[in-house]
Structure 1
Amino acid sequence: MLWRRHVEPFTRPLVYALFRFRRGLTLGVRGVVTDGEGRVLLVQHTYVHGWYLPGGGVERRETAETALAREMQEEAGVRVLGRPTLVSVHSNEPRHPGDHVLLYRVHAWEPCAASVQGEIHEVGWFAPDALPADTTPSTRQRIAEALHGAECDPMW
């Protein structure tokens, strides 16, 4: 499935154009989850390089919290228990015009089976001060904001 990483740069403009046509503005969610040892949950997708916080797009007739719970279960095998805490709101304008991302902190969760196959290459738990070298800069910044009180950057 890693062949998607080679195709993605060529398909991205078409996908973004479709999103803009269908939605105008888009909204995404990402979740910061830690385990009992304080490690943070990250995922590697099959279609882009690097480690990311799990999450995805909010669909029509879906709340942001519902989308977060769905994406966490689909991508990472994490069932969100209770309500997550909204940490921050970001514009993703430089990478995806019209896109905004909500960052949540998930405090209560339990493991479950990931419900979607093919999108996620790997799931991992990492100490916040020892993230993989290819963790994206935005992911690093969001972790610092959510876990260490770093100043929030309004841009994703």
Structure 2
Amino acid sequence: MPRRLRGAAYQGFYRLPHPVRRRIVRLIAPKYLVGAVCIVRDSDAREPGRLLLLRQPPGRGWGLPAGLLKKGEAPEVGAARELHEESGVRIAPDELTPAVPNAIVHPKGWVDTVFMGTVPASTTELVVDGGEVLEAVWFPLDDLPRLTPNTALVLGVYGIGPRAAEQTPSASS
């Protein structure tokens, strides 16, 4: 598109009322679901450490505490909420550390915001509901079980697990 025509299109767009502009953008722009993920380590464990993983139905692999954010919910609040709902582990949102990179854009249309946390496994009770989560277990980092593909991808971005050596170009900070 020639420069002048593109400039005129932008000027016309910005003259439209804000609600109309927002509707146009929502029709044209890609849509993403936004989730929050917690990578929780055992603060008592010796190196290489232990990681909290969950087995969810259908139970073919182990995953991280995670879920979709509620509308208007801050990512760290959603991460803390999902962690507690799925495992019984409580970490205050301000005690979670944003991972670097903090967001992972998945090719299938969702974005995960990722947070790190630690708790002492020896004094932290794991509680699961048996419906959404079948099991919660601490695993040694050097002996992880079979992971779900998305969990392997997320952990790999942070140098953990079977995909640790891979570079994920879709990760962004």
- Per the normalisation by structure 2, the TM-score is 0.62
Q: Which residue of 1 aligns with 2:89?
A: 78
Bigger radius of gyration, 1 or 2? 2
Corresponding residue number in structure 1 for 2:38? 31
TM-superposed CA distance for 1:48, in Å, is: 5.6
Name the SS for the 1:130 alignment partner. Answer: coil
Q: Does 1:138 align with 2:150?
A: yes
CA contact (8 A) 1:54 1:71 kept: yes
1:13 alignment counterpart: none
CA contact (8 A) 1:105 1:146 kept: no
Render the CA deviation track for 1:90-139: whole Å, top value 9, x for unaligned.
11233xx2x1011111135773564755100111111111011x212432
- Structure 1: any 5+ residue segments left out of the alignment? 1-23
Looking at structure 1, the residues matched to 118 and 167 of structure 2 have their Cα atoms a distance apart, in angstroms, of 20
Is the 2:59–2:134 Cα contact (8 Å) retained in structure 1? no
Per-residue deviation at 1:143? 2.9
**1:112–1:124: structure 2 CA closer, same or farther, 3 Å change rule?**
closer
CA contact (8 A) 2:41 2:119 kept: no
The alpha-carbon deviation at position 29 of structure 1 amounts to: 1.0
RMSD across aligned C-alpha pairs, in angstroms? 2.7
Ranges in structure 2 where 5+ consecutive residues have no aligned partner: 1-30
TM-superposed deviation, 1:79: 0.3
Distance 1:141 1:115 in 2: 24
Aligned residue in 1 for 2:24 = none
In the alignment, which residue of structure 2 is the partner of 1:153?
168
* TM-score normalised by the chain length of structure 1: 0.68
Residue 15 of structure 1: aligned partner? none
4+ aligned runs moved over 6 Å, structure 1: none
Identity of aligned residues (%): 29
Aligned length: 129
